[in-house]
Amino acid sequence: MGEELKVIVFGIGKEEYGIEVDKVRTIERMMPITRVPKTPPFIKGVINLRGVVVPVLNLSGRFNLPESEVTEHTRIIVVAVNEMEVGFIVDTANDVIDINSDTIDTPPEIVGGIQAKYLDGIAKIGEDRLLIMLNLSEVLNKAEIVQLEQLEV
Amino acid sequence: MDMNAYLSMFIDESNDHLQALNDNLMRLESAPDDISIVQDIFRSAHTLKGMSATMGFEDLASLTHEMENVLDLVRNDKLKMDSFIFDTLFQGLDALESMVEDVIQGGTGKADVSAIVANLVSIVKGEHKNGGAAASSASAGESSSVSDAGGGMLDQYQSSVLKQSIESGHQVFYIKVTLTESCVLKAARSYMVFDVLENTGEIVKSEPPVEDLEQEKFDRSFTVFTISSIKPEELVAKINSISEIESVEVLPLDEESLATLSSSSSSGAGKQAAAETAAASATAEASNPAAEAKKAAPAKTNGAPVANRTIRVDIDRLDSLMNLFSEMLIDRVRLEQLASEIKRQDLIETVEHMARVSSDLQNIVLKLRMVPVDTVFNRFPRMVRDLAKSLDKKIDLIITGAETELDRTVIDEIGDPLVHLLRNSVDHGIETVSERIAAGKPETGTVSLRAFHSGNHVFIEVEEDGRGINSAKVLEKAISKGIVKQEDAGKLTTDEINMLIFAPGFSTAEVISDISGRGVGLDVVRTKITSLGGNVTVTSVEGKGTKFSVQLPLTLSIISAMLIKLGDEKFAIPLSSIVETAIIQHSSILHVHGNSMIKFRDAVIPLISLSKLFDSPNYSEDLEDEHEVIVIQKGDKWAAIVIDEFIGQSEIVLKSLGKYLTNISGISGATILGDGQVALIIDPNALIK
């Protein structure tokens, strides 16, 4: 019997993703973002989160997926991983659910265009819902950003 | 008992004591006959020993104990200081420092100190003339524990000391202190009592002995025989002012009662059967009580008021105070904007008043974070001494302005660059003794380290009277390394040539020494100092000496900046690097090798397009006839940057971009504007190549 996990569910495009609730600092509505020049395109800039400057990135852009339009459902999920605070722009964020860690399977090589190393696994909820669990430290891996930058140059 | 709560206190205090030991040993080295310095050293060592034993750091305690033994002999004139003793003591001190460092890092403070201990013991035992007498006194602990195993309240020696004190007109007291039942730090409290007593006089004997008190091997009460210079009532008041003391009894003793105490010792033996391990310190201090009592008294009057006027505050709390204040500053700017829009007189007046109060508050909050540069300087005398010794040079380090204050963030960063500069001065600047004599200079070289305020900056200067910079040699080297082109060489002034020593990859020393001269030092120094928003210059007269001057901003957390616009994006440029703002005609732009340049004050300087550099989405100056430009400087280089619009000057609070975004070229950080938006701070140093 695995342990129960509380997970925040958010949507990008048609997929549903999950982040463990204790890694999430806050979920904000869309707010003005200050562009930071000379950064990769998926880094949208920085926001003022109650006096703290927090970088914001677009998760779709991070996974090289097409970025969707900002709507009234668009949210910024601020997570704290490895002493870094980073905001993710996602299409929707409106659910917290309990899942059992036993229901998380290892992901196939590529899920919806995202490489497996960014994922912790895929959780099955009910009969027809799949939840993609993100591996945050890999998503925020800076070494890879440096490589990306070098590719662009 | 859980000691963690006291650990930070222990660390703070032991650092203070180690520093005091270091300073005083240095002083003693220059004045080896001054016994009062030895007393100071002894006190610090003794306190450190007590604290370490209480906290359970046995190695620390035992090493300090051995050092104490040596010092004890010295202050009782049984041992003369010589360089071997100094070196051993300094080694011991280094070992203590590394142990305390280990404790800070969360370690156990254990270290192998047997070699140093062996040296110390050999000093105590053999290396002086009155070997027998001194050794026996130093090991008083052991010897008396044997001979006095069945002894009483006072041994013969102690009672004769007390008797002599009474005869010579001093007051002798028998003090019984009882701690409250709930007292958790018994050793610390008893130490505080001892501290009070040692400040006002001399402790001749304590029961149980000091060692046992330090290790909390006692119930709730202990007794002390003391020679004191103050009245019994005052003594009671002083001891009662220590917390967790339940009661104090002070009985003045005369010769008669003294005699009873000594003779009745055998009857009390059963009760006092615990081994009579009178601390080496207590017995030894008694040997010249009169002299010491006099010295202790003035020392106390100097120390007490200062100690009461400061408190220790956790750095984190200061940082959060600073953060909260920055929040308020942002709101203040916001309020000022709103008030000017609403245009209601009483609102404007209130906001103005708030602005005044908050700028006073800003000064105070910034001052709270100010630390005297002494916290960096205090390790230098020792460093210079060791360097001079290893290089076989004679050097005096003269420090002035150590009380000058700088923001803690600057202080944390300035240490390494200064170490580099000092090492450079000692290694390359000051000549060897024979060279100095040949040059007709005094054989001892002087290195001056000065700190002083000037305007919104603090200057730190390192000046020596050494050989000076050979600018011809520097130029030759710079040309050979390709730092300067042959054809430019003629145009450089002497000062400009001397500044070349800061260029990357430059080193004039033929021999690469362990101390400096790897050709990275001065380059790193300049990079570090400019990254702090400061500047470093050098002036030198060949044969006379060299002066390095470091200019630093007072604080790094709030700066004045010029806010500018590029389309709808706002940026801040630190005022400290702005030379001038101007408006130029498009037609006045010159093109040299495809680069845009403008004429400015008889010079041609590069024109940088910020909108192109930052890929501005909705602004380009290409279509304008007139350009707003800001002339910025880095050292003696100038450049003009083209912007869209000036917004105005403002105090801004520096914020970092977070750990995820680091090393973005041209951007040094961010700030939050009055409207809650984030504006990026431009790093002018990165714009000028």
DSSP conformation letters of B327-342: HHHHHHHHHHHHHHHH
Beta pairing partners, B679: B671
Question: Which H or E element spans position B537?
Answer: strand B535-541
Torsion angle (degrees, nearest 10) of CA B119, B120, B121, B123: 90
| Residues of B marked as catalytic | 46, 68, 424
Nearest CA distance, B374 vs chain A (angstrom):
33
B170: helix, coil or strand?
Answer: coil
User: So what's the pLDDT on residue B301?
Assistant: 40
Per-residue pLDDT of B223-234, as tens digits, reads 877 777 777 777
**Which numeric CATH code is attached to B1-138?**
1.20.120.160
**Which numeric CATH code is attached to B558-687?**
2.40.50.180
Contact criterion met (CB < 8 Å) for B667 and A36: yes
Peptide bond into B208 cis (omega under 30): yes
Nearest CA distance, B208 vs chain A (angstrom):
51
Closest in A37, A84, A85 to B615, CB measured: A37
Least confident of B1-5, B228-232, B611-615: B1-5
**Residue B667 forms contact with A (CB below 8 Å):** yes
> How far is B464 from B395, CA to CA, in rounded Å?
10
Task: List the single residue in A with minimal CA-CA distance to B660.
Answer: A84
B373: helix, coil or strand?
Answer: coil
User: So what's the pLDDT on residue A146?
Assistant: 54
> Domain residues for A70?
4-152
Q: Label the pairing between strands B445-454 and B395-400.
A: parallel
> How far is B290 from B295, CA to CA, in rounded Å?
9
Contact criterion met (CB < 8 Å) for A39 and B661: yes
Contact criterion met (CB < 8 Å) for A37 and B664: yes
> How far is B603 from B239, CA to CA, in rounded Å?
74
- Put simply, whether the predicted model's pTM sits higher than 0.80 gets the answer no
Select the more confidently predicted residue: B60 or A86.
Answer: A86
Cβ neighbours of residue B514 closer than 8 Å, sequence gap 6 or more: none
Q: How far is CA A109 from CA A115, A117, A131, A148, in A?
A: 6, 8, 16, 21
Assigned fold of B149-305? Alpha-Beta Plaits (3.30.70)
What is the number of domains present in chain A?
1
Cβ neighbours of residue B453 closer than 8 Å, sequence gap 6 or more: B404, B459, B554
User: So what's the pLDDT on residue B113?
Assistant: 76
Closest in A37, A51, A86 to B327, CB measured: A51
Torsion angle (degrees, nearest 10) of CA B518, B524, B529, B533: 160
Identify whether the C-beta of residue B388 lies closer than 8 Å to the C-beta of residue B350. Answer: no
Cβ neighbours of residue A143 closer than 8 Å, sequence gap 6 or more: none
Per-residue pLDDT of B299-309, as tens digits, reads 444 434 444 56
User: So what's the pLDDT on residue B519?
Assistant: 45
- With beta carbons under 8 A apart, name residues in chain B contacting A54: 658
Tell me the average pLDDT across B9-14.
79
Nearest CA distance, A88 vs chain B (angstrom):
13
| B36: confidence class by pLDDT, cuts 50, 70, 90 | confident
Buried b vs exposed e over B309-318: b needs ≥16 C-beta within 10 Å? eeeeeeeeee
User: So what's the pLDDT on residue B138?
Assistant: 39
| B283: confidence class by pLDDT, cuts 50, 70, 90 | very low
- Rg of chain B (C-alpha set): 33
Q: Label the pairing between strands B171-179 and B245-253.
A: antiparallel
* Residue found by looking up tokens 């800001």 in the block: B630
Per-residue pLDDT of B428-456, as tens digits, reads 888 888 888 888 888 888 999 999 887 66
> How far is A64 from B625, CA to CA, in rounded Å?
41
Give the helix, strand, coil percentages of chain A, each rounded to 5.
Answer: 20, 50, 30
- With beta carbons under 8 A apart, name residues in chain B contacting A36: 657, 661, 664, 667, 680
> How far is B348 from B350, CA to CA, in rounded Å?
5
Nearest CA distance, A90 vs chain B (angstrom):
19
> How far is A39 from B670, CA to CA, in rounded Å?
15
Beta pairing partners, B581: B630
Nearest CA distance, B563 vs chain A (angstrom):
15
**Residue B643 forms contact with A (CB below 8 Å):** no
Query: What's the CA angle centered on B418, arms B413 and B419, to 5 degrees?
Result: 105
Among residues A103, A83, A85, A79, the alpha carbon closest in space to that of A8 is found at A79
Cβ neighbours of residue B245 closer than 8 Å, sequence gap 6 or more: B177, B178, B179, B180, B189, B193, B239
- With beta carbons under 8 A apart, name residues in chain A contacting B617: 35
Above 80 in pLDDT, residue B335?
A: yes
Identify whether the C-beta of residue B224 lies closer than 8 Å to the C-beta of residue B197. Answer: yes
Least confident of A103-117, B126-140, B149-163, B470-484: B126-140
63-82 in A: which are within 8 Å (CB) of B? none
Task: List the single residue in B with minimal CA-CA distance to A44.
Answer: B661
| B274: confidence class by pLDDT, cuts 50, 70, 90 | very low
Sequence letter at residue B74:
V
> How far is B525 from B533, CA to CA, in rounded Å?
13
Domain residue ranges of chain B, discontinuous segments joined by +:
1-138, 149-305, 315-369, 372-553, 558-687
- With beta carbons under 8 A apart, name residues in chain B contacting A45: 678
Phi, psi of B342 (to 5 degrees): -75, -30
> How far is A149 from B453, CA to CA, in rounded Å?
44
Cα B486 → chain centroid: 45
72-131 in A: which are within 8 Å (CB) of B? 83-86
User: So what's the pLDDT on residue B306?
Assistant: 42
Q: pLDDT under 70 in chain A at which residues?
A: 1, 110-114, 142-153
Contact criterion met (CB < 8 Å) for B677 and A53: no
Cα B301 → chain centroid: 24
| B156: confidence class by pLDDT, cuts 50, 70, 90 | low
Among residues B188, B221, B243, the alpha carbon closest in space to that of B53 is found at B188
Nearest CA distance, A2 vs chain B (angstrom):
33
Task: List the single residue in B with minimal CA-CA distance to A41.
Answer: B615
- With beta carbons under 8 A apart, name residues in chain B contacting A39: 661, 664
CATH number at residue A58: 2.40.50.180
| B507: confidence class by pLDDT, cuts 50, 70, 90 | low
- With beta carbons under 8 A apart, name residues in chain A contacting B613: 37
Assigned fold of B372-553? Heat Shock Protein 90 (3.30.565)
* Average pLDDT value for chain B: 76
Identify whether the C-beta of residue B226 lies closer than 8 Å to the C-beta of residue B292. Answer: no
> How far is B326 from B557, CA to CA, in rounded Å?
9
580-619 in B: which are within 8 Å (CB) of A? 613-615, 617
Buried b vs exposed e over B93-118: b needs ≥16 C-beta within 10 Å? bebbbebbebbeeeeebebebeebbe
B464: helix, coil or strand?
Answer: strand
Contact criterion met (CB < 8 Å) for B660 and A34: no
Cα B352 → chain centroid: 39
The ipTM assigned to this model is 0.86
- With beta carbons under 8 A apart, name residues in chain B contacting A142: 660, 662
> How far is B241 from B377, CA to CA, in rounded Å?
36
Contact criterion met (CB < 8 Å) for B664 and A36: yes
User: So what's the pLDDT on residue B272?
Assistant: 40
Q: Label the pairing between strands B678-682 and B569-574.
A: parallel
Among residues B232, B218, B213, the alpha carbon closest in space to that of B174 is found at B232
Q: Cβ atoms within 10 A of the Cβ of B492, count?
A: 17
